[in-house]
Amino acid sequence: MSQLHEENQVLQVGIEEKLSFGANLTYGFQHLLALTGIFLFPVLIGQAMKLEAGTIGYMIQACFLTTGLVTILQSGKMLKLPVVQGPTAAFFVAVLSAGTSVGLGTAFGSMAVAGVIFMLLTIPIRKFGLIGHVNRFISPPIVYGTLLIIIGAQLANIGLKNWFGSANEGINFAAAGVTVICVLVLMIVGGNTLLRRGALLWGIVIGTVFYSIFGTANFSAVGSAGWFSLPSIFPFGFGVSIPVVILMLLAFLQASAEAVGMYTLLTKWGGQKMDSERVNRGLFGEFLGCTIGAVFGGLGTTSYPENIGIVRVSGIGSRYVTMTAGVMAIILGLIPKVGLFIASLPGPVLSAASTVLFGIIAVSGIQMVSKVVWDELNLVVAGSSFIISLGTMYLPTELTSKLPLAVQSIVTQPMLVGVVLLIGLNTVVNIWIRPVMEQRSGGVKTNTEVPTEVA
């Protein structure tokens, strides 16, 4: 059987097909299990900034609301694809960096401003949307694949060192070890079941049970939390910083590149057309939802490769399933007990789960760039971007200390430097210089990369 024919057989249930209510709930729940960023990123930000459990719990609620809103927009009239969106590492890094330097109010205020700017760049009216027309500059696998490797390497500094906590190091490390072992075992032997798709979540559950038995887990605050609450507008205050807006624009740019790759893959599986107008509609919906989410205090989102993998493995491509997942996420976001329960989970357990997640992010990037033909030009683009970006973590303190705090948060972040270098170098080298070199060599075309697949 040819590869093309196999690709056309990916979806057993088409994008526009409707399932029963029970099936929508079941398959929608599968997608929610893969949204690990909702459980991990807000807690890690809260731990780094020493926020109270109630504040962290609210941020988790806001992330559920943002996820649900964007997912409904994408599955509905905006994109009409089975896309599930969740908090992304790009915004996690950006909010963590800005929050520690200028405060969460300025971080989320600047994110909202950046979201409005990107919405204006993707107005889905005829040919007004700009981003859809510059897709080839931001979406090649060499760009967002290398960027994921950079992000994974940057985040390596967060996970492992927090396995031990500040007290009871033995119990903390043991609980972290149990969590990682459970996650790895479920990922290896879980097959195409809920055990593998929710491996990180199940690992957190088992690690928390272990910690509760041998340690001192405390969930007393959950009992006093309410069952329903509406989100607040700019709950951490409001501020705007131009350097932080730039930081958030770069995070949106990274999310755009990843999202467009997922859009293209889904339309190919579903036998649908993906033109610049549809790309603009999808990105406009994403930016609209993220902007509203930022107003409520939620992290920006992008299309999760894990959810695309669920679509491929299950063959269920109905956008009504992912729309159901979005509705479920919004419901969870309106229940304070859910957010506070997640915020009360043992820190070493969540750090252990995040370590695995960050490794998956890096290896996903490796999987993407494995499709690239590594000639000298592509080595220049990826190699220099990779090493310079990671090198920014080691800039001399006497140099960075002279810069404004908001500027420091940009130039010392590998992800942000990486997205600029990768897009810039790939544009110059592969889009401008390569065609000239091919003409001079007698019109012999050199392939730079082949389509990316999700395992």
> For residue 450, what pLDDT band results from cuts at 50, 70 and 90?
very low
Beta-carbon neighbour count of residue 272 at 10 Å?
15
**Structure confidence by residue, pLDDT tens digits, 92-136:** 888 988 888 889 999 999 999 999 999 988 887 666 666 656 666
> For residue 4, what pLDDT band results from cuts at 50, 70 and 90?
very low
> For residue 325, what pLDDT band results from cuts at 50, 70 and 90?
very high
User: For residue 131, is it left (φ>0), alpha (ψ between -120 and 50) or beta?
Assistant: alpha
**Structure confidence by residue, pLDDT tens digits, 207-222:** 999 988 887 777 777 7
Residue 321 in this model has a pLDDT that exceeds 90: yes
Quote the CA–CA distance of 323 and 83 in Å, as a whole number: 9
> For residue 9, what pLDDT band results from cuts at 50, 70 and 90?
low
- As given in the structure block, the two tokens for residue 375 are 């000639």
The angle subtended at Cα 358 by Cα 352 and Cα 360, nearest 5°, is 110
**Structure confidence by residue, pLDDT tens digits, 414-427:** 887 888 899 899 99
> For residue 265, what pLDDT band results from cuts at 50, 70 and 90?
confident
Least confident of 110-114, 155-159, 438-442, 450-454: 450-454
Across 40-64, average pLDDT: 89
Quote the CA–CA distance of 333 and 229 in Å, as a whole number: 9
Residue 449 β-bridge partners: 372
